[in-house]
Every structure is written in C-alpha cells, then in structure tokens.
Structure 1
Amino acid sequence: MSPSSSPTPHTQASGSLLLLMAIACGLCAGCNYISQPLLHSIATGLHVSEAQAAFSVTVSQLAYAAGLLFLVPLGDLVDRRKLIVVLMGLAAAGLLLCAFTGEIGFFWLGSAVAGVFSVAAQVLVPLVTLMVLPQQAGRAVGILMTGLLIGIQSARSIAGVLSGTAGWQSVYILTAILMLLVAAALAKMLPTPAALPPVNMAQTGAHKASYSSTMRSLVDLFIRMPRLRSRTLMGAFSFGSLAVLFSTMALLLGKAPHGLSDLQIGLLSLVGVASALVAKPIGQWADQGDEPKTSLGASLLVIATWPPMWLAAQSTTMFGIGLLLLGVAIAGTHISNQSVIFKLTSQARSRANAIYMTGYFLGASAGSALGVLAWDAGGWSTVCWLGLALGLAALAANMYDRKLARAEESRQQAL
C-alpha cells in the first residue's frame, strides 16, 4: 500500500469521544477496587468471614493480570471496537453476579469474571493512539489515563458512601449498569477497522494472524525491544511503591494517634484524585519532546516523597500530602512510559501494552504483599524504607532506559 493510500487517523476522535473513552477506562479500572471498603458488609451479607470476603480482592487482581496477558493482545488481532464492547459486557455480567449471589463461591467467580474482562481499558489506550495524529497521541493517552486514574483513586470512596446509603449490592449494580451504557455508546462511536491503520503481523514477529502466533509474538517483542523491558521495570517498581502505601494506609490510619474510620480513610484517599489531573499535561509534554525530563522528574519525586512520609506516623496531614505527591509521581511515570512504548512500534501497540501492563500490575501485587510483610516486621518505618527502596529501583531503571535511548539515537545518527 502506498503512503497516499494508507489509512489516516480517525477524524472523529472528538472531545466527546475521548471523554467517553476516559469514562470507560475509569469504570473498568475502578470496578476492581470497589470491594475494598465493602469487605465487612460483604462478609456479613454472605455470612462468611472477612478473610473469605477479602479473598475476592486477590481473585480479582489475579484475574486482571491474566486478562492483561491473554486478552489485551487480541487488540492487534480482531476488531478493537467489538472486542472492547464484548469485554465490558462480560465484566458487567461478573459484577451483577456478585450483586445477586448469596454464596461466597459465586461471589469469587463474579469477581474473577469482572477482573479478567475489565482489561477493556487497556485495549482502549493503544486504540486511541491510532485514532489521532502521532503528534497528538500523548495528549490523547493523557486524557484516557486521567479517567483511569480518577476511577482507581475514587472507587473506594464512592463505593463506601454508596454502600452506606443503599447497601453494598447497589455498588455492583450501579457500576454494571453504567458499564453497559458506556459500552453501548462506544459501539456506536468507536471507529471501524477500515478507519484505522492495519496491523501487519509479519512485521512484529507473528507470521500468521492467529491467537497462538500473537501470544508467541509477545516473547519476540520483549526480547527485541530493550526499552520495552526497561520501561516495564520502571512502571513495576514505581507502581509497587504506591501499592506499598495503599496496602498499609488503613493499618496506619485506623490506629492511634489517627484513629480514622473506614469512611474517613476512604475520604482521605480522595486527595489522590487530584494526581489524575496531571495526566493530560504530561501527555502534552511528551508530544513536545519533554518526556525524558518528565520521566526523570517523576522518578525523583517518588524517592523524595518517602523520607517525609516517616512523619505520617504522627500527622494525618503529612500522609495526605505524601499520598498526593506520590500519586502525581506515579501518574507522571505511567504516562511517560506509555508514551515511549507506543512509539516503539506502531503495529503491535496492544501487545506492547499487554507486556507493560502485566509487569505494571505484577509490581503492584508484589508491592502490596511486601508492604504488609514490612508492616508486620517493623511497622511504619519499615514500610517507608521499602517504599524508598522501590523508588530507587525505579530510578535505576530510568537511568538504564536513558542509556538505551542515547544508544538508539546514536545508531540512527550513524545511519
């Protein structure tokens, strides 16, 4: 196909469509966090222990990681519009199963279904880069990530408030209804495959357009793209640092001298929503060539946040400030990472994103588990040391990535 006949970016990537896609990202990401403030109510309603109810969180996280690895790569193989709609519909079905079941086993099953299919958000993000001009991709990704981050940061608080007024089942029912409505709107507004650049599987290590070859191409991409590896490490370590904080915040704030209730802790976590507001400008900076500075600044901010967090043991205000700064740093790292990854390959963006996001959430899972172990081993000070160590690891990955970028630039100049 000649350049003149190549498909151009979708011309209807309007502000309203980008907003709708951002809302979809927020719903998909947030549905994996709504159970966390409801565990006591769920346990009471299903007549099980809180530990059994809490197991649903682990089920959801593992299912989400599986969806990232096994479903997101399909975005390079099938009609993305249909894939997104089907995934969101199935995730809504899982949420409804959680709401209407009376058995913990079916609640776990519903959590798994909702978790594995809520990865629709990670199909939407690479899709939007194909809907706009290359110089606008960072801004578009920033808009979607604003919605995704708001969904993650606000899900706990909104779920807690809604559960207190209408019962915990209402949280799942409302989320499912909203997801179905947004999916229906996306079915009408998203571009058809004919309006998007085609995916050439042969150029990306998959010589036959099949699911098995697509999965094999993930290994090829990971081997061939050192910056995909370095950015995945950077994302895993940085998000792991934030997960350390999230996994221990209730343990810290629920005891003296803070003594906050579950609702108060949920409301305090809303300060993290403000960090989502940096996603759009960071995407714009990436479009303007300022991504290296943004990545470095974000990595340094992760490190700089943890020493003052020691004071959060006595100051709720200091905890809120630290949560805000760490949220900004993680948002900056994540947007910058995806900006780089989507530029590495135009033909395998869903697969590259699948690799990156799998590492990203594995880092979060490890950070959550290590955070609880650190708390048990030495309390808040040990938690802060762990968060700082992960921040330093993210900075090391950043330095390695900058070295790779300079080497790549030198090779291009030599040609």
Structure 2
Amino acid sequence: MLGDRRGAIRQTGEQGPEGAGFVLSRGVVALFAVACGAAVANVYLSQPLLVTMGRDLALSPAFVGGVVTLTHVGYGLGLFFLVPLGDIADRRRLVVAQLLLLVGALALVAVARTAAVFLVGLAATGLLAVVTQTLVAFAASLAAPARRGRVVGQVTSGVVVGILLARTVSGLLADLAGWRSVYVVSAALTALLALVLYRVLPRSSKAARVNPRNATSTNLRYGQLLRSTLTLFATERLLRLRALFGLLIFAAFSTLWSSVALPLSEAPYHFSHSAIGALGLIGVVGALAATAAGRLNDRGLSTRTTGIALALLAVSWLPLALARSSLWALALGVILLDLAVQAVHVTNQALIHALRPDAGSRLIGGYMVFYSIGSATGALAATSLYAVAGWGAVCLLGAAFSCLGLGVWAFTRHVE
C-alpha cells in the first residue's frame, strides 16, 4: 500500500538541514500532521466521557477532574524526560518505540477494572503521548529555514484537529460501543501509525550532539541532556517569555475544554456523549489559524500575530459566558478561543526552534512542559470551580488567564 520509502517521498519539496537525501514533501508533512494529531488525541479522549467513566469505576464527582489532570501530569513528565532524547537519538527509532509503548498504555486503560489500574494507564498514556512533540521537532529539523514556520504550522494544524476531533470521535464511539472501545480503537490506530512511520521516515543523519552553551560537538549523556534543557531556559529570554505565553493560553484552553461537558450534560441541554463531542468539530476552525500563523511568522510578524491572538482569546470568554442560554454564543466563543490559542502556539514553537535548531527537541520539550502545567492547572481549577460556583465562575477564570497573557504581551512587545 505504501510502496517503498523512496516512492513515498518522490514529490516536490525542499530538503532541510537534517535527513540527508530526504525531501520533506507535502505528503510527508501531512503524515507528520496525522501522526501528531492521533498521538495527542489520546490526552483528550477522556474529556467527553468523564461522567460515564466516573460512574463505571466508582470515582467521586470531585475526583473526575483529576482524571484529566493526571493525564496532563504524565504528559508534562514525558516532555521533560523523553522529548529531549530526540537531540541525541535516532528520531525515527525513538518515535516508533514510543508509539508501540503507547499502544500498551492504551490497552491497559481499555481493560482496567479498578480505579488504580485505570489511573496508571492514563498517566502512562499522557507520558508517552509526548511523541507528538518529538514529531514536531523532527519535522522542523527536516524543513528548510525559510519554510520552517509554515511546516510547523501545518504539522501543528494536525495537532489542533487531533485535540478537537478526539472529543467528537470518543463521544461517538462511547455511545455506540461503550467508553472502553475508544481506547481499543486508538490503540489499533497507534500501532498502524508506528508501522507507517517506520517505513516512511528517514534515519536522523545527525542527532544533535552539541554542548548546551555552544555548537562544539560532544556526546551528551542523559543527565547532561536534561541539565542542558534547564541551561537553555537560563540563557534564552525568548524561550522563557514564550513558555509563559504557552502556560497561560493552555490554562485558558483547558479551562474551557475540561469543563464544558459538565453544563452540556445538565439542564437544559442533557446532551449525549456524541453531541458533546461534536462541539470539537466547531473548534477545528482553529487549524486554519495554525497554518496562517506559521506563514506570518516566516514574514517576521510574530509579535503582532501574538498580540492580536491574545486579544481574541480574552474576547472569546464573553460569548462563552452565555453558553447556558445560547448554543450559537458557545460556538462563536469556541471558534475564537481555538483560533487564538493555536495562532500563539504555532508562533511560539517556530520562534523557539529558530533559537537553536541543534537543540530543537529540548527547546520544544521544555516549552511544552509549561503547556502541560497550564493545561493541568486549568483542568483542575475549572472542574473544581464549577462544582462550587458554576459556569460563570469558570468563564471568569478563563478570562483571567487570557487577560494576564495579553498584559504580559503588552509589557514585553518592544523588547521581545
């Protein structure tokens, strides 16, 4: 079906600095996007299913929000401990190994009969789903510098679609065959992707074996690799600033998506899993922002793009606050929020990878740790706040995260 690897890449494209003889064609970029979307979707599959899974496994309502948080905690650990390996290892082998281990984690969730096994499986799923970021760094390293923003945007559009369609697909499958079927199907898809990527992706012609402070070649040990990630944060101001933006936008993003199933499952809507998951289809519009933001970054408009997107993010909470009385307002708010978050996220990744292409995995992994912290914070705070103060309080929380991000941008835009 795939043909040989040479046939898979015999298309128009530009050769990047890594992967000698490999052409990063549109087809291969699309494959990166699909793989990223499928992998990251595993972090979000549970969100429309929280009520059902909690009931099946006897989890208290207050503990249900912790299901999402635990997955993000696992993801955060993977970002720091696994993603940097892409700078010293053959990325193709690393990607395939992580995908196969992810298959095992998903299978564990699918067969879990106790809360303990279920939570271990979810934590492992989050830990291994960071293969998404290894793929993003891999794609960026294969792209020619003049096209890097566009490639990162196209690959990230797959991440956007994966995050949002995860809710749609999981809700539909849960209604048809129960929540466990969601993880069975995902495990099968992940195994298929491992095979395809092994066939298509090139071996890394040069794993980045560089000193964390300069470009002198050296063989970094694992401990040195992790310490060098911290060194990058200490020396690169832009990385620290963009990591802060990442934390705040994904805290806002998670505030919405980890809690929106709760009001939609209650009066006056009483939506099914499928109906709640379908809300993700609206948010897929955010994928358009990912590609556009990449192009704007290549044109040197990253600061302006960030400011406009953060302003839209703050405004999005006005229609979202009306969600209990108007589905149209909810849809508008979802579109604005997802457009804004993805525009900032793509800009962040393109800028930080350009700082040190030789340390791309460490830069993106370190940045995404803050994404995970923000996502976990938003999920835990939103579900807890909803239980005691309702949807209005959740929207105020999301607006606070968004306005804080806009304020940081306003104070730093001239010195970035």
What is the distance in 1 between the residues matched to 2:112 and 2:131? Answer: 24
In structure 1, what is the equivalent of residue 232 of structure 2? Answer: 221
**Could you tell me whether the CA contact under 8 Å between 2:87 and 2:207 is conserved in 1?**
no
After TM superposition, the structure 1 stretch with the greater mean CA deviation from structure 2, 26-35 or 323-332, is 26-35
Listed as ranges, the gaps of 5+ residues in structure 1 are 1-5, 406-415
Equivalent residues in 2 for 1:168-179 (5 A)? 168-179=179-190
Which of the residues 131, 135, 139 maps onto 2:146? 135
Equivalent residues in 2 for 1:122-161 (5 A)? 122-161=133-172
What is the distance in 1 between the residues matched to 2:214 and 2:360? Answer: 10
Equivalent residues in 2 for 1:32-111 (5 A)? 32-42=43-53, 48-49=58-59, 55-111=66-122
Which of the residues 22, 25, 29 maps onto 1:14? 25
Letter in 1 for 2:211: M
**Could you tell me whether the CA contact under 8 Å between 1:137 and 1:287 is conserved in 2?**
yes
Which of the residues 41, 55, 69 maps onto 1:30? 41
Letter in 2 for 1:61: H
What is the distance in 2 between the residues matched to 1:258 and 1:321? Answer: 18
Letter in 2 for 1:107: F
What is the distance in 1 between the residues matched to 2:21 and 2:135? Answer: 14
Letter in 1 for 2:210: N
In structure 1, what is the equivalent of residue 126 of structure 2? Answer: 115
Q: What is the percent sequence identity of the aligned residues?
A: 33
1:110 deviates by 2.0
Q: SS at the partner of 1:347?
A: helix
Which of the residues 254, 274, 278 maps onto 1:243? 254
- Do the aligned partners of residues 60 and 22 (structure 1) sit closer, same or farther apart at CA in structure 2, a change above 3 Å counting? same
- Do the aligned partners of residues 10 and 309 (structure 1) sit closer, same or farther apart at CA in structure 2, a change above 3 Å counting? farther
In structure 2, what is the equivalent of residue 276 of structure 1? Answer: 287
Letter in 1 for 2:58: V
- Do the aligned partners of residues 122 and 400 (structure 1) sit closer, same or farther apart at CA in structure 2, a change above 3 Å counting? farther
What is the distance in 1 between the residues matched to 2:97 and 2:358? Answer: 23
In structure 2, what is the equivalent of residue 394 of structure 1? Answer: 405
Which of the residues 177, 195, 201 maps onto 2:211? 201
Letter in 1 for 2:280: S
**Could you tell me whether the CA contact under 8 Å between 2:53 and 2:179 is conserved in 1?**
yes
1:209 deviates by 0.7
What is the distance in 1 between the residues matched to 2:322 and 2:111? Answer: 44
For 1:52-102, what per-residue CA distance to the aligned partner results, in whole angstroms no more than 9, with x for missing partners? Answer: 776543332211111011111111121111111111110111111222343
- Do the aligned partners of residues 104 and 304 (structure 1) sit closer, same or farther apart at CA in structure 2, a change above 3 Å counting? closer
**Could you tell me whether the CA contact under 8 Å between 1:230 and 1:400 is conserved in 2?**
no
In structure 1, what is the equivalent of residue 366 of structure 2? Answer: 355
Count residues in correspondence.
398
1:376 deviates by 4.3
Equivalent residues in 2 for 1:269-348 (5 A)? 269-348=280-359
What is the distance in 2 between the residues matched to 1:362 and 1:337? Answer: 16
In structure 2, what is the equivalent of residue 3 of structure 1? Answer: none
TM-score normalised per structure 1: 0.89
- Do the aligned partners of residues 241 and 40 (structure 1) sit closer, same or farther apart at CA in structure 2, a change above 3 Å counting? closer
After TM superposition, the structure 1 stretch with the greater mean CA deviation from structure 2, 157-166 or 130-139, is 157-166
For 1:388-413, what per-residue CA distance to the aligned partner results, in whole angstroms no more than 9, with x for missing partners? Answer: 221111112323442332xxxxxxxx
What is the distance in 1 between the residues matched to 2:382 and 2:342? Answer: 20
1:10 deviates by 5.6
Q: SS at the partner of 2:285?
A: helix
Letter in 1 for 2:122: S
What is the distance in 2 between the residues matched to 1:133 and 1:79? Answer: 20
Q: SS at the partner of 1:311?
A: coil
After TM superposition, the structure 1 stretch with the greater mean CA deviation from structure 2, 164-173 or 226-235, is 164-173
What is the distance in 1 between the residues matched to 2:266 and 2:58? Answer: 25
Letter in 1 for 2:135: L
Greater per-residue helix proportion: 1
1:106 deviates by 2.4
What is the distance in 2 between the residues matched to 1:40 and 1:387? Answer: 22
What is the distance in 2 between the residues matched to 1:104 and 1:38? Answer: 15
In structure 2, what is the equivalent of residue 412 of structure 1? Answer: none
